[in-house]
């Protein structure tokens, strides 16, 4: 039996669609099997709420009088990339103020960066804009300053080149000193093991071969409706997979886009990773239309079926040796401690499972009420047969 | 001198030294251990209440510093900003007293302030700066 997205959308419009979260789907598939699950369930909702460094926003400020072709732009002293037309910039989540001490006194605090600025904008706070230029006949002005709020400017579009990682590393530290990484603070000699995935709720782990997720898929993004606009950067679909097709290492990624003006602060949070930098913690949820039995089965994936590599961040990660210390399932990680080399190591997550579940439930509500339709992908996300090879940069 | 509550941080190599014993014996201080946590191969933390002569107290604290034990008065209070906490869990592995723990059912992070010894180890690793110090 198979359904089309169109048929499912008709049901959603009538308020007749059966929508469940990816967590609820586990038991449904277990209890009634993939065939019945596919007949019964129309949509499965997923969610993730975690630091996503490769995020940022396009802003258009509107023109000043007289006009300026902004060549360098700072917002609350944080530089935005202004190498676009006159009053367009791209503000990245990890950018720091020009006068921040960074890691001069290690570990740096990274109290306020691009992610925090994006949160402030979403919260409706006023931010200070400074711009300089060289002056042209059509854009004579050389300097401009203003206080702006999100509601004052023309456009603010979040466009994140790489989000929603399909699986991720579990980071540990084999060395004798504390490490400060984007995976959090890692205590010496296997003091802790940090992971970062919503596991069984994670969008791309529920549709491991991207059968329903592609450019045009409508998603929950930062509390608003957004879209998948491309595969993400470093998209690596040909990574090793288990017998169920679930990647065993970081694999697929998505590029997503949405209107910042519609987002809410609860789902868009600036974050500081001590000794590493600033970033953005962002909520994303993707609905998966259950078109057939195999999609139903995929959505029944549970933490016990998903494993990730344990990687040493004192040597193997920074030096790109490609070595892993072993692998561990998310159900083991979620118990609170794992065994590595005979040692019991406490685990911590950077991704918030409880918030991911909130997203999946919200999305379920929206769809059940007929307020959110499934987007028909216009370009499939490159899959396991794409032959994509993950490249590294050769230096000379 | 009124009784003073202090938090002692022992680094790994000091955990096995008879530091507290010396403090009592050579500096005439009486004490009351309120909380102690010395993990076999990690750092040790002890909260104690000291009483004795003001002069002896100062000397005792200096002795501790010389021995490499850092001390901090327990006049601080750690709180969690509930609006900021996103229930990730990054703080949990830092906490030596299980004042921070995960409810494995809801995967929410629980903070029990009565177990907190204000060691501040959770403050830096919290990405949203929800764990905060109040004086
Ligand atoms: S690290 Fe911070 S945000 Fe995360 S659970 Fe702990 S207090 Fe909450
Ligand atoms: S300050 Fe933080 S880490 Fe230290 S005991 Fe209190 S809650 Fe635990």
What is the pLDDT at residue B51? 83
DSSP letters, A239-280, are S-B-TTS-BSSS---EEEEEEGGG--GGGEEEEEETTTEEEE
Ligand lying closest to the C-alpha of residue B123:
2
Q: Show which of B29, B54, B76 is a domain's final residue.
A: B76
Choose one of B120, B130, B134 to mutate for the ligand 2 pocket test, by most ligand atoms within 8 angstroms of C-beta: B120
pLDDT tens by residue, A27-80: 999 999 999 999 999 999 999 999 999 999 999 999 999 999 999 999 999 999
Task: Confirm if A61 and A154 have CB atoms less than 8 A apart.
Answer: yes
B135 has a pLDDT exceeding 60:
no
Ligand 2 mean position, distance from CA B116 (Å): 5
In this complex, how many residue pairs, one in chain A and one in chain B, have their CB atoms less than 8 Å apart? Answer: 75
- Which alpha helices (H) appear in chain A, and where do they start and end? 5-14, 22-40, 114-122, 203-206, 293-299, 330-333, 353-368
Ligand 1 atom at minimum distance from B125 CA:
1
CB-facing half-sphere around the CA of A114: CA atoms within 13 A? 24
C-alpha closest to that of A41 among A368, A366, A296: A296
B40 has a pLDDT exceeding 60:
no
**Which residue in chain B is spatially nearest to A346 when comparing CA positions?**
B93
Residue B23 near ligand 2, beta carbon < 6 Å:
no
Beta partners for A348? Answer: A194
What is the pLDDT at residue B14? 76
Interface touch B127/A353, C-beta < 8 Å: no
Q: How confident is the model at residue B39 (pLDDT cuts 50, 70, 90)?
A: low
Q: Which domain holds residue B56?
A: 3-76
Task: Tell me the CA distances in angstroms from B3 to A169, B56, B57, one per residue in order.
Answer: 49, 13, 10
- Model confidence pTM above 0.80: yes
Choose one of B97, B109, B126 to mutate for the ligand 2 pocket test, by most ligand atoms within 8 angstroms of C-beta: B97
Does residue B43 share a domain with residue B94? no
Average pLDDT over chain A reads: 97
Does residue B70 share a domain with residue B13? yes
pLDDT tens by residue, A248-283: 999 999 999 999 999 999 999 999 999 999 999 999
Interface touch A185/B41, C-beta < 8 Å: no
State the Cα–Cα distance between residues B48 and A314, nearest whole angstrom. 36
Q: Show which of B76, B97, B112 is a domain's final residue.
A: B76
Q: What average pLDDT does range A151-157 have in this prediction?
A: 97
Does residue B87 share a domain with residue B71? no
Does residue B35 share a domain with residue B65? yes
Place of tokens 């996103």: B86
What is the pLDDT at residue B38? 65
A177 has a pLDDT exceeding 90:
yes
The beta-carbon neighbor of A354 closest among B41, B91, B107 is: B107
Task: Confirm if B50 and B85 have CB atoms less than 8 A apart.
Answer: no
Q: What average pLDDT does range A218-222 have in this prediction?
A: 98
Percent of chain A topping pLDDT 90: 99
A85 has a pLDDT exceeding 60:
yes
Q: Show which of B76, B105, B121 is a domain's final residue.
A: B76
- Burial call B46-56: b when 16+ CB within 10 Å, e when fewer: bbbebebeeeb
For β-strands A343-349 and A193-195, DSSP reports them as: parallel
Q: Is A138 a catalytic residue?
A: yes
Please return the burial class of A240, using the count of CB atoms within 10 Å of its CB with bins 0-12, 13-18 and 19+.
exposed
Does residue B111 share a domain with residue B94? yes
Contacts of B41 in chain A (CB under 8 A): 189
**Of A276-285, A362-371, B29-38, B59-68, the least confident:** B29-38
What is the pLDDT at residue B2? 64
More confident residue, A264 or B133: A264
Q: How confident is the model at residue B42 (pLDDT cuts 50, 70, 90)?
A: low
H/E segment holding residue A285? strand A277-285
State the Cα–Cα distance between residues A178 and A200, nearest whole angstrom. 30
Does residue B71 share a domain with residue B29? yes
Task: Tell me the CA distances in angstroms from A267 to A49, A59, A355, B116, one per residue in order.
Answer: 8, 20, 9, 29
pLDDT tens by residue, A334-346: 999 999 999 999 9
Residue B80 near ligand 1, beta carbon < 6 Å:
yes
Does residue B31 share a domain with residue B66? yes
Question: Taking the CB of residue A277, how many other CB atoms lie within 10 A of it?
Answer: 23
Ligand 2 atom at minimum distance from B121 CA:
3
Phi and psi at residue A31, to the nearest 5°: -75, -40
CATH code (residue B10): 3.30.70.260
Does residue B63 share a domain with residue B100? no
Does residue B118 share a domain with residue B99? yes
Ligand 1 mean position, distance from CA A41 (Å): 35
What is the pLDDT at residue B41? 53
Does residue B30 share a domain with residue B71? yes
What is the pLDDT at residue B1? 63
Task: Confirm if A217 and A207 have CB atoms less than 8 A apart.
Answer: no
A122 has a pLDDT exceeding 90:
yes
B43 has a pLDDT exceeding 90:
no
Does residue B129 share a domain with residue B90? yes
The ipTM, to two decimals, is 0.92
pLDDT tens by residue, A348-384: 999 999 999 999 999 999 999 999 999 999 999 999 9
Ligand 2 mean position, distance from CA A15 (Å): 48
Peptide bond preceding A66 in cis form (omega within 30 of 0): yes
A25 has a pLDDT exceeding 70:
yes
Ligand 2 mean position, distance from CA B79 (Å): 9
What is the pLDDT at residue A352? 98
Specify the number of domains making up chain B.
2
Does residue B61 share a domain with residue B40? yes
C-alpha closest to that of A359 among A21, A17, A104: A21
Catalytic option among A138, A159, A196, A308? A138
Q: Ligand 1: which residue has its CA nearest to atom 3?
A: B85
């Amino acid at each position: 039996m198979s359904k089309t997205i169109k048929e499912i959308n008709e049901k959603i419009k009538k308020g007749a669609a059966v929508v469940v979260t990816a967590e609820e789907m586990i038991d449904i598939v277990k209890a009634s099997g993939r065939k019945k699950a596919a007949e019964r369930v129309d949509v499965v909702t997923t969610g993730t709420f975690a630091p996503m460094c490769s995020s940022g926003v396009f802003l258009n400020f509107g023109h000043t009088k007289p006009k300026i072709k902004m060549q360098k732009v700072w917002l609350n002293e944080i530089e935005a990339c202004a190498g676009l037309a006159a009053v367009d910039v791209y503000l990245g989540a990890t950018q720091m103020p020009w006068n921040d001490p960074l890691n001069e006194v290690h570990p740096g605090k990274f109290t306020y960066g691009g992610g925090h600025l994006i949160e402030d904008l979403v919260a409706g706070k006023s931010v200070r804009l400074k711009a300089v230029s060289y002056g042209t006949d059509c854009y004579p002005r050389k300097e401009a300053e203003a206080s702006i709020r999100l509601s004052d400017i023309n456009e603010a579009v979040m466009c994140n080149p790489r989000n929603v990682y399909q699986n991720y590393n579990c980071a540990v530290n084999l060395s004798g000193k504390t490490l400060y990484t984007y995976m959090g603070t890692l205590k010496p000699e296997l003091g802790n093991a940090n992971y970062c995935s919503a596991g069984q709720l994670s969008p791309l782990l529920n549709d491991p071969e991207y059968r329903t997720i592609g450019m045009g898929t409508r998603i929950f993004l930062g509390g608003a409706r957004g879209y998948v606009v491309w595969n993400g950067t470093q998209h690596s679909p040909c990574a090793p997979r288990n017998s169920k097709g679930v990647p065993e290492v970081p694999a697929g990624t998505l590029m997503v886009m949405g209107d910042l003006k519609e987002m809410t602060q609860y789902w868009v949070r600036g974050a500081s990773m001590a000794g590493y930098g600033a970033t953005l913690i962002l909520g994303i949820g993707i609905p998966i239309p259950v078109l057939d039995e195999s999609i139903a089965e995929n959505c029944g994936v549970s933490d016990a079926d998903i494993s990730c590599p344990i990687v040493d961040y004192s040597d193997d990660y920074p030096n790109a040796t490609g070595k892993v210390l072993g692998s561990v399932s998310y159900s083991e990680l979620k118990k609170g401690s794992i065994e590595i080399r005979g040692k019991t190591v406490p685990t911590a997550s950077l991704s918030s499972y409880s918030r991911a579940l909130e997203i999946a439930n919200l999305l379920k509500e929206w769809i059940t009420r007929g307020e959110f339709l499934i987007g028909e992908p216009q370009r499939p996300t490159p899959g396991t047969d794409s032959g994509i090879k993950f490249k590294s940069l050769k230096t000379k | 001198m009124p009784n003073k509550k202090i938090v002692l941080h022992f680094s790994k190599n000091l955990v096995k030294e008879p530091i507290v014993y010396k403090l009592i014996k050579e500096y005439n201080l009486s004490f009351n251990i309120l909380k102690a946590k010395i993990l076999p191969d990690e750092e040790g933390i002890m909260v104690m209440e000291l009483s004795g002569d003001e002069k002896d107290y100062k000397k005792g604290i200096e002795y501790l510093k010389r021995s490499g034990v850092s001390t901090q008065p327990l006049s601080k209070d750690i709180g969690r900003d509930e609006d900021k906490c996103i229930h990730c869990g990054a703080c949990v592995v830092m906490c030596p007293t299980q004042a921070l723990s995960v409810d494995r059912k809801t995967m929410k992070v629980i903070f029990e302030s009565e177990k907190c010894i204000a060691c501040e180890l959770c403050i830096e690793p919290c990405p949203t700066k929800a764990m905060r110090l109040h004086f």
